[in-house]
Amino acid sequence: MPKRKSVPNKSIVSKCPKLDDTDKINHNEYKSLIQSAFLLKCPPDFFEFYNFCCSVFPESPLGLIDKRTPVCTTLNGIGLQVELRNGIGYRPVTSSHNEITEMLQNLMDSKNEKARLRNLSKLDELMTLVQFANDEGDYGQGLELGLDLLAFHPRGPLESANCLNKRIAVLLSTGYRLAGRPRFSDVIKQHMETRSTPKTVKDVTASSG
């Protein structure tokens, strides 16, 4: 039985300083939030890019996040919003956040190939359930699991989680495509291919142009 309920989640983002506060202290605090919640490092020109976004769309991105009604929580605390149609579009991942975190950490800590394959099989079971859910129109489960994997913090070096990159790419690109967001699907595939490569926002926009 599903162990997670699809209930609204109060976003942790509301606790962070506003991005339009340009003093250095708030910028550093926000960079720390992004690192902890999204497992992303801010490029040097992040706030320059943010100011550009504000010039073309005045409403705060954080305000938009807080206005959502998520169908579930995610491992980073942000939650996931899915447009349900006649109750179809989402079903919960069948493992709790604690179970997923323990499973992934065991995978990172595998001492030999036999242990690695054993721990990997547990993750592949969840991915098989996602395939069933996708076939039945509940693409939100794959998005939820993909976002959970993307937000996983290994106890060791962050790079040790790169073994999850291909699975994250499959889960999220498929989920976004089924959700009618093909550009999101393209972005996540490109991001996961170069996830460990340092880059600036200008590098990203140049490569996608």
Catalytic residue numbers?
136
Q: How many angstroms separate the CA atoms of 138 and 89, rounded?
A: 4
